[in-house]
Structure 1
Amino acid sequence: MRLHGSARRLTIFIGEDDTHHGKPLYAEIVQRARRGGLAGATVLRGIEGYGASSHLHTSRLLSLSQDLPLAIVIVDEAERIDAFVGELDELIDEGLVILDDVEVYRYVGRSEGEQGESGR
């Protein structure tokens, strides 16, 4: 089954070494999103990038292979995302946050009762 609708995407760009009270910042953000009941969150690890400081972070050079860029992507209803953004103020010291409206196509499996001959 395919569900379709409007949503908002929150993308947070931080460094892999960023922390909050000694815990990886990306893990704290994902846990808060989960506790807040947001639909889902994914952390993507970049292989190369730079930010406002223009300092290159790359996995190609051993000496620079730390603090790789991360992108945390969360998609949910606009109101729920907007409410969650306020929590980021206390968590992020340096980074970039992007909000954009998106169209979502969600594919969900059939429940056991809906499976016909081919589902057996």
Structure 2
Amino acid sequence: MQNTRLLRIYTDEAAYFGDRKVLEVVASRARDARLAGATILEALIGFGRSAHQHRRHVLESDRSVVIEIIDEEGALRRFAQTLDDIPGLGLITLEAVEVLGGAFMRADPA
């Protein structure tokens, strides 16, 4: 498991790609690519290079979102390259992780 990595993609709830939220498109593509697992985390407050502060408002959701995907490094690097057509993505990072327990395997092809 030395090659296990964590891909993090920073975006926000209000980012859309066509008629779908960016976070949904990325998660769907990760599942279609049969990556081992993905989780979408919602931040209470966040900001990036633009210094625009994202937070939940009464009538709209504009929180920062982090999409975490775990798999082997090569699979994650190939997947990240497929996201070039999606506007609204922020920072994308890749870091080594050590899997200490639980099942780590690719999703079933079914």
CA positional deviation for 1:41: 0.4
CA offset digits 1:7-46 (Å, max 9, x no partner): 0110000010101111011001000000001001000011
Alignment of 1:57-76 (within 5 A): 57-59=54-56, 62=58, 66-76=61-71
Between Structure 1 and Structure 2, the one with more strand by share is 1
CA positional deviation for 1:48: 0.2
Moved more, 48-57 or 98-107: 98-107
CA positional deviation for 1:57: 1.5
Please identify runs of 4+ aligned residues in structure 1 that moved more than 2 A: none
1:97 paired to 2:92: yes
CA offset digits 1:58-116 (Å, max 9, x no partner): 23x647x63110000000011110110101111134411011111112324xxxxxxxx
Output the aligned Cα RMSD.
Answer: 1.6
Give the one of 48, 52, 56 matched to 1:55: 52
2:64 counterpart letter in structure 1: P
Give the one of 13, 28, 36 matched to 2:33: 36
Between Structure 1 and Structure 2, the one with more helix by share is 1
Cα distance change on mapping 1:99 and 1:92 into 2, 3 Å: farther
Q: Which residue in 1 is equivalent to 2:108? A: none
Unaligned runs of 5+ in 1: 109-120
Give the one of 79, 87, 91 matched to 2:74: 79
| TM-score scaled by length of structure 1 | 0.77
Alignment of 1:22-33 (within 5 A): 22-33=19-30
Unaligned runs of 5+ in 2: 104-110
Aligned length, in residue pairs: 102
| TM-score scaled by length of structure 2 | 0.84
